[in-house]
Structures are given as C-alpha cells and as structure tokens.
Structure 1
Amino acid sequence: MAMTHETTQPPSGASQPGPLTEWPLRFLRHNFGIATYAVQEYTVIYANRPYSGGPRPAREEVHPNAFHGTSAGHISIRNFPPPAVVRWTSKDGTPLEAQVDIGEIFKDELVLYEAPREEISDRTPSINPDIVMEINDRTINVYMRAFLSLKAPRFPERPHSDFRDDLVLAWSQTY
C-alpha cells in the first residue's frame, strides 16, 4: 500500500522496520578526553576548556587496562573548535608545545572503527564518538572510540557483548 498524507503513521513507540543507520557512519558532535603518561606536567586547552595536571607515571607503570578504559569527560562538542593547544614537560624535563588540529585529523567527519561492516547492526544509534588525546612523554596520539551495536554477541556465552567500542588510533606525532 502506498503511503499518502492521509495514511496514519505508526505510534512513536512502535518498532520501525528497516535500517536506521546511514553509511558511512558520520558524526556532527564529539566528546573529548585526555590521558597522560610519563610527563612532569601538562596543560591542554580545547574547545575553550583547560585541562592540566602534574606528574604522571609511564603507561607501563599503571594497570594494563587503564588506558583502554579511557573515555571523554567533555561531551557534545560541535565539530570543530580551533586546534588544541598543548604544553607539557616530558619525562626528561624538556618543555614542549604543540597545536593539535582535531578538525583536520577528522575533517571528513567519518567514524573510525575496527569491527567488520557486516557485523555492525543497521540499527546502530547516532554516534557522538569519544576523541581521546594521549600525551605520552614526547608523543601525542589521538584516538577515536565509538559505541557500535553489533548484529550478534561477540562472545556467544555473553549475550550482552553485542557491541564494540575500540580505541582506534587516528593520528600520532613525536616531538
């Protein structure tokens, strides 16, 4: 039956047939967070928000899962503010400074993910990915983490493992 203006729409709570996801996956907003290792101090200004801290241990000195659990605390940033201004002191005491242009790194606004496309559900909700900047001694890495619904659980014995949220390296620079 063809839909006309007079045809009634299903109630808003009714399930909708077909895919909700448009491919390729894109994002209009993002979340931002910082992870720091092997630095004496750091200051980052991104989206008019300052981040700073004191001495941080090397990554290998913290719990092995600590970095993979890193997320973003500054949420729903409209793409893209001016570059992040990063000032830090490396492990050996060298003062360093850089501008990291998040907008240039993600200029195509495509979501980065490691799951095979055929495993991702067509009902994946809209995505505001986490962008995580890691300052590790003399290196800055920028990662993306996006929550993706899967068609089936990754581990059959764990029915709630039907998602992926991998940290995917997008950019790296050593100073």
Structure 2
Amino acid sequence: MLGLKSLFPPADPWPLKFRYHDFGVRCYNTLRCQVIYNNYCFTRSFLYEPSGPPIRTDWKDSWSAGHGIGNEFASPVEADWISLDGTRHQARIDLAELFKDRLVRHNVSKDDIPEGWLAAWRVDPLGVDILMEVNDRTINVYMKALIATKEPQIPGNPRSTGRRDLILVWTHTY
C-alpha cells in the first residue's frame, strides 16, 4: 500500500532528480568495440572493425542518446573492446549504482531557472541522456539534460532559454 508521502511530489524539486533515462554510446580509437546495455548491442558497426578517431573535434556538442530505456536501470553496461595497442579490455559499469541518487547533473543555478519550469518538474520530472564514450583505453560516462533558463543563452535569440551541457560523471582508464 502506498504511503501518503509517495502520493504527493516534494514541495521543492531541488536538487533536480530524473525519472527516466535514454542511453547512447560512441566508440573511438578502438580496433574492435562492443557495448551491450538493456539487451541491446549499441555498437554493431564496430564489432569487427576499427572505430577510428572522431570525425570532428566538436562531436560532443550535438551528441544525444538514441535509445530510450525507461524508469529503471537495466543490468550493468557490458563493454568489450580492443584498444589501439591491441589489448583486450572488458568492463561492467553499473549505472544503477553510479546514478543511485538520480540527481540531474547540470550547470544551471536554481536562481537562473524559471519558477514555472521548476513547478512542472516537481510534478513530472523529465528524463536525461546518459552517454558512454569508449576511447582507446578510457571509458567516460556523461549526462545531458535540458534545463530551462530565465535568460536566453544566445544573446538576441529568445528561443535559447535552456542549457543542455555535457557533464562528465565517471571516467576510468584501463
């Protein structure tokens, strides 16, 4: 039976917490790369061929997750890759543990967020993108979330009232 506390959202949604997440992966500078999460292989094109370097230096600017996961974290992410030096690596990244607090990582202060947007978040928390990069011997896990802002982020553009910063949450070099 649900308690009364679970029927009512918190009065103040700060710090922001997310309800669901989407997931995406990029492999760079590997001889072979396979990443599986939620019973889905995110790296079919790199299973048996080198991934190469990023095509552009600003590739992270437009990076977003392409696979909807939902409210719960699936089993840990399984990464199996060969770095440029020919060494095989395997890693299990437990996103449920990494994001157990469900905090949204962002660079916007509470004072810069519109009150109405915060009130809406209190009732229906949005989702976030969790992004994983395998690059040679390093795995990076990032978060991206669209956070509304009171002021435009691009001067003169009234449609730029939001930030979607890429925040590094975890990294490990193997």
The interval holding the TM-score normalised by the smaller chain is 0.7 to 0.9
Q: Tell me, in whole angstroms, the C-alpha distance in 1 between the residues paired with 2:146 and 2:28.
A: 25
- Residue 95 in 1 paired to residue 88 in 2? yes
User: Counterpart of 2:7?
Assistant: none
TM-score with structure 2 setting the length = 0.82
Q: Is 1:74 matched up with 2:67?
A: yes
- Residues 41-52 of structure 1: matches in 2 within 5 Å? 41-52=32-43
Aligned length: 154
Whether 1:155 aligns to 2:154 is yes
Aligned identity (percent) is: 38
- Among residues 23, 30, 35, which one is paired with 1:32 in the alignment? 23
1:172 alignment partner AA: T
Structure whose CA Rg is larger: 1
Cα distance in structure 1, aligned partners of 2:138 and 2:95: 16
- Distance in 2 between residues matched to 1:129 and 1:83, nearest whole Å: 18
Larger fraction in helix:
2
- CA–CA separation in structure 2 for the residues paired with 1:118 and 1:143: 24
After superposing on structure 2, the runs of 4+ consecutive aligned residues of structure 1 that deviate more than 2 Å are 76-79
CA gap 1:142/1:28 in 2 versus in 1, 3 angstroms? same
Q: Distance in 2 between matches of 1:67 and 1:159?
A: 24
In angstroms, what is the RMSD of aligned CA positions?
1.7
Q: Please give the per-residue CA displacement for 1:50-92, whole angstroms capped at 9, x wherever unaligned.
A: 1222322224xx2122122111011142221111111011112
Q: Provide the residue aligned with 2:167 in structure 1.
A: 168
Aligned to 1:56: 51
CA contact (8 A) 1:47 1:77 kept: no
Q: Please list, as runs of the form range in 1=range in 2, the aligned pairs for 1:105-120 lying within 5 A after superposition.
A: 105-120=98-113
The question of whether the paired residues in 2 share the 8 Å contact of 1:46 and 1:84 is answered with yes
Structure 1 length-normalised TM: 0.82
Cα pair 1:35 1:70 within 8 Å, conserved: no
TM-superposition CA deviations, 1:6-56 (whole Å, max 9, x none): xxxxxxxxxxxxxx9722211121000001111111111111111222322
Contact 1:87 1:97 in 2 (8 A): yes
2:143 is the counterpart of 1:144: yes
> Compared with structure 1, are the counterparts of its residues 57 and 141 closer, same or farther at alpha carbon in structure 2 (3 Å cutoff)?
same
**Counterpart residue identity of residue 171, structure 1:** W
How far has the Cα of 1:162 moved from its partner? 0.5
Match of 1:3 in 2: none
Structure 1, unpaired ranges of 5+? 1-19
Q: Find the aligned partners of 2:95 and 2:59 in 1 and give their Cα distance.
A: 23
